[in-house]
């Protein structure tokens, strides 16, 4: 009898738990196996170096040349691979990362370059494409997660939602955390008791059910889904509370904005958020390029290296794609203001984690960095590579209103040499 009751209780609890969060694991959510399954979920982090990071002061230095500038190249944890001396902490983590040094997007425009790098498509009149965050969020949508799958952390602003999911629909558009703060309107108004708020929601659901029984449409379903998701988000507001992280981690990452945002990204990825994007800016260094990169790389280096190390040590890097990109690079030639201008012809991106080959370098530029000499790629190739590195079929299609739409630009393919 005891065995029978235990089995019934188990099955009943399992059935009742099918709507639970934690990646839809239901009753198993408390077990060690469930924790491991949650850790193994695929995730992606993009760090957008707004304005156009100089490849010569980061991933592809050319010291002792007429274009190289004043900084040295230093060895990394990958034998034979050197990066700028402005990234000493990152250099120690290069065995977890890879470099693409042969990018030629043939584009020097901020807006078009950003669009290209985040969607994998060259911008075309009359059609808008979803950004990588929306594509990844939809690809890994389990339909039973109450936390948003696509989060954008901005340096400032109040937050809200972005229209970056195009035809994939608003469910996959980014939730914006202005300056890393929790989503807006996720706390109960002052003076409203939790019990009273729950009574209001019960009444709302009853009214919804009655209305839906007679006039149900796709629009009403979307409204109800959005409202219920917001309610679930309010119950999990602590996910976005950075004060829950140890003080020593705040000190290690740095208490400036970028350090806080990197720590927030780690916290969100640990909590199972599918896609997180943060940014560091403004690298549009037409003037004083070297002084600016000295300061900005100094701010970027340690938090980024700490993040990579932590993701590795916590077992998350094996399932988390990390990409450091910008809309283009900067000119090898140094202008009269000691600056570098826009350059989409030969530049670099850093990536790693998930299914990317560790320590790899793909592509090569000539001695002074003015052109790609080996393995040239475009933004479309990178987009396919990110998806393949996450274990997705980048040549697949989405069903959008009964129409098959390519997941990525079919004119390109992945960089197979970078897939482990």
Mean pLDDT of the chain: 87
Are the beta carbons of 311 and 317 closer than 8 angstroms? yes
Burial class (CB in 10 A: 0-12, 13-18, 19+), 163: exposed
- The yes-or-no verdict on residue 77 having pLDDT over 70 is yes
Average of per-residue pLDDT across 140-163:
81
Note the pLDDT tens digit of each residue in 266-296: 999 999 999 999 999 899 999 999 999 999 9
Are the beta carbons of 152 and 277 closer than 8 angstroms? yes
Does residue 312 share a domain with residue 198?
no
Distance CA 283, CA 300 (A): 12
Does residue 190 share a domain with residue 166?
no
The number of distinct structural domains making up the chain is 2
Helix (H, G, I), strand (E, B) or coil at 48: strand
pLDDT confidence tier of residue 209, bands split at 50, 70 and 90: confident
Does residue 370 share a domain with residue 322?
yes
Report the Cα 174 to chain-centroid distance in Å: 11
In a domain, 410, yes or no: yes
Q: How far, CA to CA in Å, does 231 sit from each of 160, 236, 237? A: 16, 9, 10
- The yes-or-no verdict on residue 265 having pLDDT over 90 is yes
Residue 16: its pLDDT value, please?
41
Residue 1: its pLDDT value, please?
43
Are the beta carbons of 343 and 68 closer than 8 angstroms? no
Does residue 309 share a domain with residue 206?
no
From 240, 268, 284, give the residue that closes a domain: 240
Are the beta carbons of 344 and 108 closer than 8 angstroms? yes
Distance CA 390, CA 386 (A): 6
Are the beta carbons of 19 and 144 closer than 8 angstroms? yes
In a domain, 5, yes or no: no
Does residue 220 share a domain with residue 123?
no
Residue 147: its pLDDT value, please?
77
pLDDT confidence tier of residue 202, bands split at 50, 70 and 90: confident
In a domain, 2, yes or no: no
- Residues in CB range of 16: below 8 A, 6 or more apart: 27
In a domain, 246, yes or no: no
Question: Helix (H) and strand (E) counts for the chain?
Answer: 11, 17
Helix (H) or strand (E) holding 315: none
The beta-strand segments (E) located in 145-214 are 150-154, 160-161, 175-178
Report the Cα 394 to chain-centroid distance in Å: 17
**Residue 403's domain is classified under what CATH number?**
3.40.720.10
Does residue 353 share a domain with residue 267?
yes
Token couple for 125:
């009149």
From 208, 240, 272, give the residue that closes a domain: 240
Are the beta carbons of 262 and 253 closer than 8 angstroms? yes
- The yes-or-no verdict on residue 371 having pLDDT over 90 is yes
Does residue 197 share a domain with residue 178?
no
Does residue 40 share a domain with residue 130?
yes
- The yes-or-no verdict on residue 227 having pLDDT over 80 is no
In a domain, 21, yes or no: no
Taken in order 399, 148, 390, 301, the sign of the CA dihedral is positive
In a domain, 14, yes or no: no
Residue 127 DSSP class: B
Residue found under tokens 């929601």: 201
- The yes-or-no verdict on residue 37 having pLDDT over 60 is no
Does residue 393 share a domain with residue 339?
yes
Average of per-residue pLDDT across 343-357:
98
Does residue 305 share a domain with residue 348?
yes
Helix (H, G, I), strand (E, B) or coil at 274: coil
Instruction: Print the domain residue range for 211.
Output: 185-240
Token couple for 87:
């990234």
Instruction: Output 17 or 384, whichever has higher pLDDT.
Output: 384
Taken in order 102, 105, 106, 111, the sign of the CA dihedral is negative
Does residue 80 share a domain with residue 45?
yes
CA-wise closest residue to 162 among 130, 186, 127: 130
Distance CA 29, CA 26 (A): 6
Residue 171: its pLDDT value, please?
87
Note the pLDDT tens digit of each residue in 307-318: 999 999 999 999
When mean pLDDT is compared across 90-104, 122-136, 181-195, 224-238, the lowest value belongs to 224-238
In a domain, 218, yes or no: yes
Are the beta carbons of 55 and 347 closer than 8 angstroms? yes
In a domain, 8, yes or no: no
Does residue 267 share a domain with residue 138?
yes
Residue 348 region by backbone torsions, left for phi larger than 0, else alpha for psi between -120 and 50, else beta = beta
Residue found under tokens 């790389």: 297
Token couple for 273:
């958020």
Helix (H, G, I), strand (E, B) or coil at 178: strand
From 240, 264, 283, give the residue that closes a domain: 240
- The yes-or-no verdict on residue 15 having pLDDT over 80 is no
Residue 163: its pLDDT value, please?
85
Are the beta carbons of 413 and 384 closer than 8 angstroms? yes
């Amino acid at each position: 009898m005891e065995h029978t009751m235990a089995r019934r209780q188990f099955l009943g609890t399992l059935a009742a738990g099918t709507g639970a969060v934690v990646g839809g694991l239901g009753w198993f959510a408390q077990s060690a196996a469930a924790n491991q399954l949650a850790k193994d979920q695929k995730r992606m982090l993009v760090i957008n170096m707004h304005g156009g990071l100089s490849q010569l002061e980061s991933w592809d230095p050319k010291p002792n040349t007429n274009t190289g500038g004043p900084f040295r190249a230093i060895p990394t944890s990958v034998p034979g691979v050197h990066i700028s001396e402005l990234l000493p902490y990152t250099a120690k983590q290069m065995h977890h990362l890879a470099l693409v040094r042969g990018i030629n997007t043939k584009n020097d425009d901020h807006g078009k370059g950003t669009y290209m790098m985040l969607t994998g498509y060259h911008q075309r009149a009359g059609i808008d494409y979803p950004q990588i965050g929306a594509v990844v969020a939809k690809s890994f949508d389990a339909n039973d997660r109450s936390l948003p799958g696509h989060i954008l952390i901005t340096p400032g602003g109040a937050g809200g939602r972005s229209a970056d999911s195009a035809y994939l629909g608003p469910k996959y558009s980014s939730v914006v955390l202005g300056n890393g703060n929790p989503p807006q309107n996720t706390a109960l108004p002052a003076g409203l008791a939790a019990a009273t708020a729950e009574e209001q929601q019960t009444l709302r659901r009853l009214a919804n059910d009655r209305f839906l029984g007679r006039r149900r449409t796709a629009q009403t379903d979307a409204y109800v889904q959005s409202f219920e998701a917001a309610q679930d988000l309010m119950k999990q507001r602590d996910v976005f509370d950075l004060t829950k992280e140890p003080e020593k981690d705040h000190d290690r990452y740095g208490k400036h904005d970028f350090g806080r945002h990197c720590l927030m990204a780690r916290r969100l990825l640990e909590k199972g958020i599918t896609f997180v994007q943060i940014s560091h800016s403004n690298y549009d260094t037409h003037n004083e390029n070297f002084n600016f990169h000295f300061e900005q790389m100094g701010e970027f280096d340690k938090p980024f290296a700490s993040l990579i190390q932590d993701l590795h040590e916590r077992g998350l890097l094996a399932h988390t794609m990390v990409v450091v990109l910008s809309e283009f690079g900067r000119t090898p030639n140094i202008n009269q203001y000691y600056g570098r201008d826009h350059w989409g012809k030969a530049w670099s991106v850093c990536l790693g984690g998930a299914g990317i080959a560790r320590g790899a370098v793909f592509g090569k530029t000539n001695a002074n960095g003015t052109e790609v000499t080996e393995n040239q790629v475009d933004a479309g190739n990178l987009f396919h590579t990110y998806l393949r590195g996450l274990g997705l079929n980048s040549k697949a299609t989405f069903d959008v209103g009964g129409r098959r739409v390519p997941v990525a630009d079919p004119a390109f393919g992945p960089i197979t040499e970078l897939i482990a």
